[in-house]
Chain A
Amino acid sequence: MAKIFKGRVIIRGRVSGSAVVSLEGVNPLASWKDACLKKKRPALCSDQNNKELYNKQLDDKILCLPQFIGSTSGGLVLQTAMTLGLGPRGMLFSKHIDSLAASGIVLSDVWLNQQIIAIDKLGDEFLSYVKDEMPIEIKDDGTVIVG
């Protein structure tokens, strides 16, 4: 049965897709590094420290996570991934968006005119509930329907 969550709209839009989930913080540099270097799809996560996400497809998925972590160059990696068509279809944060993701999303929006539909503050319950490959629908008003 589908469950509904509500968060804060970071970038407005509607999108549907399947989930890829990380319960721990995602290091964007480590995760997208190999995919961006190879410039080919699918973009498989290359962060061996993130056992949950490692080797899973990141592009064309709705990435569900608490926050980005790691190097302060991480936001630029997201921007690069979007340019190469290797970015996620949407991003759903259980916590308040962090500075790395915020920077990447804002710079993509303003300088590349590429919008990464994103919602934050969805809560811990959201991240506990959503599982890999679950269908997700994101609505303009920050409503997220899972399952």
Chain B
Amino acid sequence: MELSNEEKAILNGEKGETLQKVLKSVVNYGDLFGAQRLVSLTNNSHSVLSMGVGLFTPFYTMLDEIVEEGLKMDSFTVDPYPMDFKNIKSNFFQKMVFRILYKSQNHLDILLQKLGLQENGYTCTCYLPEVGNIPKQDDILAWSESSAVVFANSVLGARTNRNSAGIDILMGIIRKTPEFDLLTDEGRKATWIINLKTETLPDAQLLGSAIGMKVMEDVPYIVGLDKFLGNELNDENLAYLKDMGAAAASNGAVGLYHVENLTPEASKYGKSIIDNAPGKYIIDEQELDRVFNNYPNIWKNTEAKPKKCLIGCPHLSLGQLYEWSKTIINELDGGKVSLETVLLAAPDVINKFMSDSSVYKSLTDTGTKLSSTCPLTFMANPLCKQIPIVTNSNKLRTYTSARFFMDHDILKIIKTGNLPKEN
């Protein structure tokens, strides 16, 4: 890698041993991916590392050293807080295991604050207006959290690789990242054409799942989605793209997608952004049915009645929170939810929603809860992963035993407590 004089000086230890190690890590990492140089970050970071898992002792030792040296990042955000005993029911034993699992949470919280964590900065949807960590087109970032990475790249037109936890923090400290892959024009070319041939707009997370499983880590160019979503980004289609991208990123490893006539680079460059000899994949209703019907049921008791419904992975936008609220309120018509139902969103999104006291009260009167935690970290508890949980998140389905259903079926489950085939 070609380094500037300043970078060489740091690598030689002229600015202290800790900063030397920070830069050495970033340079060595970049060398593995063929980066020719480091480029400066132009906006704030987002890190996946919000959960104080007791295991990660070497990582906390590294952060202790960094903080002791007085090194900081620009204001940044992290993924959701891993526990919420107030809004998601846990019994005594489950809480005990949570406290063991995340026994370093206090330590990590303090470290993150000293590093420069934004107030209320615990959410995977840092790019929402209420949260405010919003990159601009062409911004250079060093994000982790796959759902945030794919949103920043695809919908906002910023540039970040899918960084891993640990190295993302170091890039934030040094305010530089190696230039390779998704930071380059070449790396952002689409190598797949996805032809959407459905009659109606498909479920975002189901579509994302199908795309992700087919293209894995490649870059897809999606044709036919703009006829449903339009040619201008707005709150509604942003929320759709957020969820589609999260599913593609977790069911595959997609870090960037292009939607013809809609996302920034596709709108600007059109089909010229497609590489030579791309793969081709047609998605129609039959294909989506095939994908859905192949999801395994890994509940311990496959015939169990669902006990919890978790909606919002990634976190819901304000618009989605309103939509779910009104839908649940109307559907229940004065009644209560039939199973524990939690809507998940960023703290600042929930705060804004709560300020609309009439809708908030009507929602909570149904028994629905709001939380800013991460459902993945909830289900990482071995005592919780055995609970029969339903969700509308394909990301949650991929990483846990939660069963995925589309929104209309989730609503029926919330109302009746039964799975769709039993209605």
Contacts and interface: CB of A to CB of B under 8 A. Distances in A.
B162 A110 contact: no
Contact of B57 (A74, A80, A108): A80
B62 interface: yes
B145 interface: yes
Given A110-B24, A111-B21, A36 B166 contact: no
A71 B165 CA distance: 9
Interface string A86-114: 00000000000101101110111111100
Interface string B163-185: 11111100000000000000000
B399 interface: yes
B164 A72 contact: yes
A107 B25 contact: yes
B56 interface: yes
A82 to B, nearest CB: 8
Nearest to A118: B32
A111 B25 CA distance: 8
A1 interface: no
A72 B146 contact: yes
Interface string B132-151: 00000000000011100000
A107 B49 CA distance: 15
Contacts of A69: 253
B33 A77 contact: no
B214 to A, nearest CB: 16
A23 interface: no
Contacts of B56: 73, 76-77, 79-80
Contacts of A36: 55
A99 B161 contact: yes
B59 interface: yes
- Chain B interface size band reads 20 to 34
Interface residues of A, number: 30
A110 B146 contact: no
A2 interface: no
A79 B169 CA distance: 15
Contacts of B162: 72, 99
B58 A110 contact: no
B48 interface: yes
A82 B144 CA distance: 23
23 contacts: A36-B55, A72-B48, A72-B162, A73-B49, A73-B53, A75-B165, A75-B166, A76-B58, A76-B166, A79-B58, A80-B55, A80-B56, A80-B57, A97-B32, A99-B163, A103-B29, A104-B164, A106-B25, A106-B28, A106-B167, A110-B21, A111-B25, A111-B58
5 A-B pairs with least C-beta separation: A103-B164, A75-B164, A103-B167, A73-B165, A72-B144
Interface of A: 10, 33, 36-37, 69-77, 79-80, 82-83, 97, 99-100, 102-104, 106-112
Given A73-B164, A79-B59, A103-B163, 19 more contacts: A36-B55, A71-B399, A72-B145, A72-B163, A72-B165, A72-B168, A73-B53, A75-B166, A76-B58, A76-B166, A77-B56, A79-B56, A102-B29, A103-B167, A106-B167, A110-B21, A110-B24, A110-B28, A111-B61
